[in-house]
Amino acid sequence: MPELPEVETVVRDLRPLLVGRRFTSAWAGRLALRKPWKAAWKKRLVGRRVEAVRRRGKWIVLELDDGGRLVIHLGMTGQLTVTSTDEPRKAHTHLRFDLDEPIRQLRFRDVRRFGSATLFPSEEEVEASFTASGLGPEPFGLDPAYWRQRMASTSRCVKAVLLDQGVVAGVGNIYADEALFEARLHPSLIASALGDEAADRLRQAVASVLNRAIEGRGSTIRDYVGGSGLRGAFQNEFRVYGCTGRPCNRCTAVIERVRLAGRSTHYCPQCQKS
């Protein structure tokens, strides 16, 4: 699943291509996404101008000139790109939006169809939806007191806490593993046993890893591409994720994999002692 760095890369790619542009038509394929596209949304969307493009957690938000918000989640395999109308439509393209800039389209392609696109009438309804889902704060500039309290108040392993979107928004399996490695913390450690120093180290590691991944345009394992169609490069910088059996680049111990919080988890047994 695209995580925060991938979604942020899509947003940064789309922003200069979409802001100031109007939607002139909307097309939806016959196969439904996780949340079906409603026919009424087409009428409401056509003619609207994009005022801003932003990210919240793993969500992409297009702010429209009438106050509406087109909110998109990439799911497991979603691709949201601006492309030429002349480019052949790829299989699994489920939504297509023509722009008033000649021969430009915004296309949403999703092989597994776990993604979604929803048109909200207002910012208030978007925020209410995020609140109802329990979406937590962004990982950048996190309040240290909040972070320490969330860690100290749970008996879950620290890997599970990082994956909880209600604790911190946007972190997924890849960057949880990489952040724990950077913080030298074993993923099975109970969060409440960390103490303030280790909790602060992890908070800083999360932000550091995510920022470096954004600089690398995210990670392409299989399907992910940015908003301009380019692949990510941060997968070349992984130090533990997907590195099972390889030597640690910090101590040369062999990277191991276990299953924690229902997810494959990668770590160095020497650098990240339990």
Report the C-alpha gap between 210 and 213 in whole angstroms.
5
**Rounded CA separation 180/268 (Å):** 10
Count of CA atoms in the C-beta half-sphere (13 A) of 28: 18
* DSSP track, 146-166: HHHHHHHT--SBHHHHHH-TT
Q: Is residue 138 part of a domain?
A: no
Within 8 A by CB and 6+ apart from 88, the residues are: none
168 and 250 housed in the same domain: yes
Answer yes or no: do 46 and 113 share one domain: yes
In a domain, 169, yes or no: yes
The reply to whether 72 and 15 lie within a common domain is: yes
Please tell me the predicted confidence (pLDDT) of residue 254.
99
Question: Residue 127: CB partners within 8 Å, gap ≥ 6?
Answer: none
Q: 164 and 72, same structural domain?
A: no
> What domain count does the chain have?
2
Residues 126 and 158 in one domain: no
Domain boundary among 132, 159, 194: 132
Q: Is residue 139 part of a domain?
A: no
- Give rounded-to-5 percent helix, strand, coil for the chain: 30, 25, 45
Give the model's pLDDT for residue 273: 86
Q: Tell me, yes or no, whether 55 lies in a domain.
A: yes
Are residues 20 and 125 part of one domain? yes
Q: Is residue 261 part of a domain?
A: yes
Q: What is the CATH number of the domain that holds 176?
A: 1.10.8.50
Q: Which of 106, 132, 158 is the last residue of a domain?
A: 132
Judge if 114 and 58 occupy the same domain. Answer: yes
Per the structure, the complete domain to which residue 85 belongs is given by 4-132
Token representation of residue 133: 């889902």
> Which of 68, 101, 132 corresponds to the end of one domain?
132
Give the pLDDT band of residue 1 (cuts 50, 70, 90). Answer: confident
pTM, full prediction: 0.96
pLDDT of residue 101: 84
Q: Identify which of 40, 45, 39 has the alpha carbon closest to the alpha carbon of residue 25.
A: 45
DSSP notation for 239-256: SSTT-TTSBPTTT-PBPE
Q: Which of the residues are catalytic?
A: 2-3, 58, 263
- In this predicted model, what pLDDT tens digit does every residue of 16-64 receive, in sequence order? 999 999 999 999 998 888 888 998 999 999 999 999 999 999 999 999 9
Query: For the domain that residue 8 is a member of, what is the CATH number?
Result: 3.20.190.10
Residues 9 and 127 in one domain: yes
User: How confident is the model over 115-151, as pLDDT tens digits?
Assistant: 999 999 999 999 999 999 999 999 999 999 999 999 9
Q: Which of 172, 72, 150 is nearest to 116 (CA)?
A: 72
Encoded tokens for 177 = 């593993």
- Asked if residue 274 is part of any domain, the answer here is no
Position 272 in a domain: no
Q: Does 54 share its domain with 86? A: yes
